[in-house]
């Protein structure tokens, strides 16, 4: 699944290779050109998607009605969908690890909820127990994986390795490719995030300028990477609380570490729900980008 | 509508992945044909736990006596109900692949250099509890009987129904691994594995075999009552 092997499955005429969004000054037109380049190469090949007929200028997202939606649909560059360039958006490593994580997280949560049932409290034996809406409760069989405690443990420990290895591969890619620049939330993103939030609250009319991701996305993605690291570290800390006692102590001891590990699950679940909702509400084209790597949507620019 | 039709197609692809995953998670599935593979992978985790994380000088934290879990709240599990009673003339058989097999009475174990620590007990279920244990280092007994080079594992047998257990020698030689005869300052009663049990803050509770009758050095990895049913073999913490 290399990137070069991916033909641009489009026969629509070549869009100008200039960036559509008014991007940060770092993106000169020349710099943006390689992103659009691949489309120029292949001859109009048989299109694998019969549905991708020559695009008619129709708005890609559900129309909410009203003139205000109009401005929203046009995207930051004010371009119609027909003129949107097809850009390479996600490297193969990003796509593989993304979907790997989707499956692994499902399995890790299912087996984790199975394990939880063996002692559904947080705190030392005899209490007092830490606040927990599920204290003393079992999760329904339908969301559990493993069937019993040993099964849940074996699933959990087996899935943990690919989760860690995939995560490290992803982080390594972020660092070596420089992709972290478009993802990492930094202090200068704070005012931009506020502007983005104002836009979402309809207190600002224009979509704020953005690179590959807007500032709120940067915040969300940086946070979820942080959460994944925390969940892995707390996981190892409660897996080996004696051998890794320094790590367990760092999180406040065995019982607290187990508590944080449990809460990371609910943050993951909340994130995933909002994440999927926003894909369909704001940028459905990003789903294709995360599968094939190619993106033809409202935010085609790169950092 | 290019984007929307693509999304539909992509949704289908997504379903190809998410469908089986969701099925796997549903209905408390154990893993079916994957269960043996998962247990094989568990051996890799055992290897990491024993060869990488376990170190002779890496000691589990000790706690002040004031942090102890009240004795009556410290859980105690046994297969036999009511609690198993030691057979008359109880003694510990130490044998297998050793040069000097021996039989130890409780007095002989108590005559060995004694150590006491207050440590945290981790149960595989997820609870923890703190107690004070007194006993003789298992390493002292191991050195006494002189294991042969081919001895790689230690099997513990009990008078608690068919409960038995296997350990790696590295964990058995750890300075915090003891043959315990005292719990929270008192004698080791029937609830906590008396007259003699193995104790260590570097393993999960189900590895800390109670009601001991025999230690046997082996070259083949012994199973264990819970391990044979699927629990991780090393059980190191």
Q: What is the per-residue pLDDT across A54-82, written as a single tens digit (0 to 9) for each?
A: 443 444 443 333 333 333 444 444 445 56
**From-to residues of CATH 3.90.420.10 in chain B:** 39-229
Q: Say whether residue B25 is in contact with chain A using an 8 A CB cutoff.
A: yes
Q: What is the per-residue pLDDT across B54-92, written as a single tens digit (0 to 9) for each?
A: 988 899 999 999 999 999 999 999 999 888 999 999 999
Residue of B nearest to A236 (CA): B237
Whether residues B9 and A51 touch (CB distance < 8 A) is answered with yes
Nearest Cα neighbor of A94 from A154, A28, A166 is A166
CB B3 to CB A151 under 8 A? no
Task: Identify which has the larger pLDDT, A49 or B174.
Answer: B174
Say if residue B10's pLDDT is above 80: no
- The whole-angstrom separation of Cα A286 and Cα A89 is 9
Would you tell me which residues 117-176 of chain B have a C-beta closer than 8 angstroms to some C-beta of chain A?
120, 122-130
**A43: Cβ contacts below 8 Å, ≥ 6 apart:** none
Phi-psi sector, B225: left (phi>0), alpha (psi -120 to 50), beta: alpha
CB A45 within 8 A of CB A9: yes
Whether residue A233 is contained in a domain is answered as yes
Contact by Cβ (8 Å): A18, A29: yes
Chain A interface, best mutation among B33, B38, B200, by max A CB count within 10 A? B38
Could you say which of A81, A125, A245 has the minimum Cβ distance to residue B129?
A: A125
A221 φ/ψ angles, rounded to the nearest 5 degrees: -70, -40
Confidence of residue B18 (pLDDT cuts 50, 70, 90): low
Residues of A in contact with B61 (CB under 8 A): 242, 245, 249
Under the banding of pLDDT at 50, 70 and 90, the label for residue B12 is: low
Give a yes or no: residue A96 inside a domain: yes
Digit-coded pLDDT (tens) for B107-136: 999 999 999 999 999 999 999 999 999 999
Q: Give the pLDDT score at B231.
A: 95
CB–CB of B165/B196 below 8 Å?
no
Whether A133 is in a domain gets the answer: yes
Nearest to B231 by CA among B205, B213, B211: B205
The nearest CA of chain B is from the CA of A272 a distance in Å of 14
Distance between CA atoms of residues B166 and A61, nearest Å: 62
Which residues span the domain enclosing A143?
Answer: 92-295
Q: Using a CB-CB distance cutoff of 8 angstroms, which residues of chain A are in contact with residue B39?
A: 154
Residue A166 forms part of a structural domain:
yes
Class of domain B39-229: alpha beta
| DSSP conformation letters of A67-84 | HHHHHHHTTTTT--GGGP
Q: Is B40 exposed, middle or buried (0-12, 13-18, 19+ CB in 10 A)?
A: exposed
Instruction: Determine the pLDDT at residue A17.
Output: 40
* Alpha-carbon gap, residue A54 to A186, rounded angstroms: 40
Q: What is the pLDDT of residue A62?
A: 38
Mutation target to probe the B interface, by most B beta carbons within 10 A, among A13, A120, A127, A150 is: A150
Does residue A275 lie in a domain region? yes
B-chain residues near A49 (CB < 8 A): 5-6, 9
Contact at CB, A287 and B11, closer than 8 angstroms: yes
CA distances A277 to A272, A282, A284, Å, are: 8, 8, 10
What is the least distance, in Å, from the CA of A216 to any CA of chain B?
23
The dihedral built from the CA positions of residue B97, B98, B104 and B106, taken in this order, carries a sign that is negative
Q: Indicate whether this complex's ipTM tops 0.90.
A: no
CA angle, A94 then B39 then B230, to 5°: 130
Quick check: is A73 in a domain? Answer: no
Contacts of B130 in chain A (CB under 8 A): 124
Is the pLDDT score of A10 beyond 70?
no
A66 occurs within a structural domain: no
Please check whether residue A152 touches B, CB under 8 A.
no
Distance, CA of B140 to CA of B236 (rounded, Å): 21
Per the listing, tokens 């690890």 go with: A97
For residues B18 and B12, what is the distance between their CA atoms, to the nearest angstrom? 10
Which domain CATH number covers A208?
A: 1.20.950.20
Rounded to the nearest 10 degrees, how much is the dihedral formed by the CA atoms of A111, A113, A117, A120? 140
| Contact present, B95 and B214 (Cβ < 8 Å) | yes
Confidence class for position A34, pLDDT limits 50, 70, 90: very low
A289 lies in some domain? yes
Give chain A positions within 8 Å (CB) of B35: 151, 154
Number of domains in chain A: 1
CA separation, residue B189 to residues A36, A279, B83 (Å): 76, 61, 10
Q: What is the 3-state secondary structure (H, E, C) of A147-194?
A: CCHHHHHHHHHHHHHHHHHHHHHHHHHHHHHCCHHHHCCCCCHHHHHH
Tokens 């200039």 locate to: A18
């Amino acid at each position: 699944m290399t990137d070069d092997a991916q033909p641009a499955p489009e026969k629509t005429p070549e869009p100008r290779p200039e960036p559509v969004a008014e991007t940060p000054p770092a993106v000169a037109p020349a710099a943006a050109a390689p992103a659009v380049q691949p489309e120029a190469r292949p001859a109009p090949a048989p299109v694998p998607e019969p549905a991708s007929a020559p695009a008619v200028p129709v708005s890609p997202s559900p129309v909410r009605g009203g003139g205000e939606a109009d401005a929203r649909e046009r995207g930051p560059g004010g371009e119609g969908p027909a003129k949107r360039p097809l850009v390479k958006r996600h490297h193969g490593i990003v796509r593989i690890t993304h979907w790997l994580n989707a499956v692994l997280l499902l399995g890790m949560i299912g087996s984790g909820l199975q394990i939880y049932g063996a002692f559904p409290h947080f705190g030392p034996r005899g209490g007092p127990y830490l606040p927990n809406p599920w204290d003393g409760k079992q999760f329904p069989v339908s969301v559990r994986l493993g069937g019993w405690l040993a099964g849940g443990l074996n699933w959990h420990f087996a899935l943990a390795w690919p989760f860690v290895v995939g995560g490290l591969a992803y982080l390594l890619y972020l660092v070596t490719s420089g992709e972290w620049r478009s993802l990492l939330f930094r202090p200068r993103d704070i005012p931009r995030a506020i502007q983005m939030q104002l836009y979402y609250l309809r207190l600002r009319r224009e979509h704020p300028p953005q690179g590959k991701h807007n500032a709120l996305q940067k915040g969300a993605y940086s946070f979820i990477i942080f959460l994944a690291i925390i969940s892995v570290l707390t996981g190892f800390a409660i897996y080996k609380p004696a051998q890794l006692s320094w790590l367990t102590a760092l999180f406040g001891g065995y019982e607290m570490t187990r508590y944080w590990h449990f809460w990371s699950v609910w943050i993951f679940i909340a994130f995933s729900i909002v994440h999927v909702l926003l894909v369909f509400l704001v940028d459905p084209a990003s789903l294709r980008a995360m599968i094939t790597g190619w993106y033809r949507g409202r935010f085609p620019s790169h950092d | 509508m290019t984007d929307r039709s693509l999304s539909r197609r992509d949704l289908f692809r997504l379903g190809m992945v998410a469908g089986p995953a969701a099925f796997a998670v549903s209905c408390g599935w154990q893993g079916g044909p994957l269960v043996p593979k998962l247990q094989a992978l568990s051996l890799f985790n055992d290897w990491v736990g024993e060869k990488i994380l376990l170190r002779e000088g890496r000691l589990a934290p000790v706690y002040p006596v004031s942090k102890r879990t009240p004795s009556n709240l410290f859980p105690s599990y046994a297969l036999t109900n009511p609690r198993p009673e030691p057979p008359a003339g109880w003694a510990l058989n130490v044998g297998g692949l050793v040069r000097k097999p021996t039989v130890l009475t409780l007095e002989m174990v108590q005559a060995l250099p004694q150590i006491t620590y207050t440590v945290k007990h981790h149960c595989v279920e997820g609870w923890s509890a703190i107690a004070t244990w007194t006993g003789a280092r298992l390493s002292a007994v191991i050195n006494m009987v002189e294991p042969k080079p081919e001895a790689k594992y230690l099997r513990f047998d009990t008078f608690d129904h068919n409960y038995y257990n296997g350990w790696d020698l590295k964990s058995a030689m750890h300075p915090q691994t003891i043959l315990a005869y005292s719990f929270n300052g008192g004698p080791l009663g029937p609830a906590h594995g008396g007259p003699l049990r193995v104790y260590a803050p570097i393993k999960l509770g189900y590895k800390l075999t109670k009601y001991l009758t025999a230690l046997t050095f082996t070259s083949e990895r012994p199973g264990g009552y819970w391990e044979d049913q699927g629990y991780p073999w090393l059980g190191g913490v």
